[in-house]
Amino acid sequence: MEFIKLKDGHEIPQIGLGVFRTPEGEVTKEAVKSALQAGYRHIDTAKIYGNEKSTGEGIKASGVDRKDIFLTTKLWNDDIRAGKTREVFAESLRLLDTDYVDLYLIHWPVEKREQAWLEMVKLQEEGKIRSIGVSNFQQHHLEELACVSDVVPVVDQIESNPYFQNQELIDYCQSRGICVEVWSPLGGSVDNRILTDETLTDIARKYGKSVAQVIIRWHMQRGVVVLPKSTHEDRIRQNIDVFDFALTKQDMDRIRALDKNERTGADPDHFDF
Ligand code: A2P
């Protein structure tokens, strides 16, 4: 596994298992367990996914030491609006059956996020969170946060895939030392046309890899943390088997040219949840 050093000194494994749309119960438990047993050391969940309990059970069932796992969860929008950061964070710890998380994120840039951030800074000082960050923040959201706190998020988790590369925001974050994590790195699970894209299929054939592996490798070579989701053990294994090849600059450029600026998810400047 490769690691990226965060601004606060902690290291984050560059590939993690994302468990969005992975149902609570055996499915999540098995996915988390399979991933950890296959060599993953990074799991990304969120309160709103409703699967923190099974994520914790998967970690226990894997036999991998908690201290060797980078675990992320996220603070949900309604709880930010209601000013309930401290109590819902405690509930996440209880469900995950752990006494700390490696990374806690503001899930979306909703109103009252500044108060939530100040509370997260305190929780970090108390040792219950190793690193704090944000998700779905645009450049202006990051700039606004900097006006109320000197503590800079070490991570911004945003949407990025070959058809929605989000490169300008990635460049901005990287120029400020903010590590970018990407969600739906393969283009998500709804009407996914990326996994059958002709150019990507052509590149994949050349390296003897799958399209998913080529996309994951492309993200890694852009210096971002990749969070592919799968509930299938063979795919979970495949998605981490990306350390034995590297894309040439020419192939990186071919993928760069696929950008359609087409989001699969919500726009952080216009959402209603
Ligand atoms: P599944 O869970 O059925 O494997 P994302 O971009 O959000 O990570 O979404 C990935 C989507 O692609 C999921 O729907 C997942 O479905 C599927 N997927 C994940 N890994 C692979 C793979 N290696 N090959 C093909 N499909 C994959």
pLDDT, tens only, 113-164:
999 999 999 999 999 999 999 999 999 999 999 999 999 999 999 999 999 9
Taking each helix axis as running N to C, give the angle between helix 167-175 and helix 139-148, from 0 to 180 degrees, rounded to the nearest 10.
30
pLDDT, tens only, 233-267:
999 999 999 999 999 999 999 999 999 999 999 99
**Residue 31 alpha carbon to ligand 1 centre in Å:** 12
Check residue 131 and give its pLDDT: 98
Size of the chain in residues:
273
pTM greater than the 0.85 cutoff: yes
Decide whether any atom of ligand 1 lies within 6 Å of the 199 Cβ. no
**Residue 226 alpha carbon to ligand 1 centre in Å:** 13
For 74, 102, 242, the CA distances from 43, given in Å and listed in that order, are 12, 10, 18
Decide whether any atom of ligand 1 lies within 6 Å of the 21 Cβ. no
Compute the average pLDDT of residues 63-75: 98
Average pLDDT, rounded, for the chain: 98
Q: Distance between CA atoms of 79 and 63, rounded to whole angstroms?
A: 33
Residue type, position 165, single letter: Q
**Residue 195 alpha carbon to ligand 1 centre in Å:** 9
Verify whether residue 172 is a known catalytic residue: no
pLDDT, tens only, 2-39:
999 999 999 999 999 999 999 999 999 999 999 999 99
Residue 47: both structure tokens together = 């309160």
Check residue 180 and give its pLDDT: 99
Return the residue whose CA atom lies nearest to atom 12 of ligand 1: 189
Pick the catalytic residue from 40, 49, 100, 104: 49
Taking the CA of residue 187 as reference, the ligand 1 atom at the shortest distance is 6
pLDDT, tens only, 184-224:
999 998 989 999 999 999 999 999 999 999 999 999 999 99
Q: Distance between CA atoms of 43 and 31, rounded to whole angstroms?
A: 10
pLDDT confidence bin for 70, thresholds 50/70/90: very high
Q: Where in the chain does DSSP place strands (E)?
A: 3-5, 11-13, 17-18, 42-44, 70-75, 101-106, 129-135, 155-159, 179-183, 225-226
Q: Distance between CA atoms of 140 and 180, rounded to whole angstroms?
A: 16
Ligand 1 pocket, mutate which of 164, 190, 224, 235 (most atoms under 8 A from CB): 235
